[in-house]
Amino acid sequence: MGKMKKLMIAPSLMGMDVLEIKKQIAFLNQKAYMYHVDILDWHYAKNLCFSPDFISQIKTVAEIPIEAHLMVEGTDEGIINAVIEAGADYISLQADEVSKNIFRYIDMIKQKGRKLGIVLNPSVPLSYIESYLDQVDLLTFMGVTPGFAGQKLSECVLDKIAGARELRDAKGYYYQIEIDGGCHMDSIERIGKSGIDVMIVGKTLLFGQDEDICRAWDKMERIFEDVGLALER
């Protein structure tokens, strides 16, 4: 086997067993790169998930960064400040939802010492955020339409990831490239080798592999190794 492509893992806490959260967090603190927490309001996408209070509770036991992904219609300073105060390290905003006030939000996030994340839906081109791409710390590509787990990968996203990687190299940008959604057994090889740095995983690849989080992680790691991907922190 040739040289393995390395990537980092961000478990989506939406997929965790709520009765085993403390135990699972204690294990994942030693393995994962960061935690991914979705904030959904039922309006931006037809699902509900977590609140800033959940982040503040996870923060008490987390030893790695927490990313708050805001899928909130009418995203404004109020919800951004709430997740900052709760302890989120990365504040990820939907590009299509915040374009009007994006520079004010960037200043707000940076002044609080947090990292700026920008999320692009499958239908949104990379050129949409060209004017502020040099300030982005984490660039996330939605592999599916936001809101629900288990959807099939939108293949057009792979070309956008490759383009973002080329642009980063050409311009000297510093953003990490992440994918959220569409990561399944039949797609992880293509996704992992497309140019991403971080893959968000949930029930399909991690939490659903085994009731025991240690065994679940080992099974996931073998799945990645079988397609030439190595996990790192």
Residue 38 is a catalytic residue: yes
The residue annotated as part of the active site, out of 38, 89, 137, 197, is: 38
Distance CA 170, CA 23 (A): 43
Cβ–Cβ under 8 Å, residues 154 and 121? no
Q: Where are the beta strands (DSSP E) in the chain?
A: 5-11, 35-41, 48-49, 66-71, 90-94, 115-120, 138-142, 176-180, 198-201, 229-232
Task: Return the closest-CA partner of residue 120 out of 109, 108, 132.
Answer: 132
53 is catalytic: no
Catalytic-labelled residue, pool 89, 180, 186, 210: 180
Residues 6+ away with beta carbon under 8 Å from 179: 140, 141, 143, 157, 161, 191, 196, 198, 199, 200
Answer for the pair 59, 48: CB distance below 8 angstroms, yes or no. Answer: no
Residue type for position 17 = D
**Residues known to be catalytic:** 38, 180
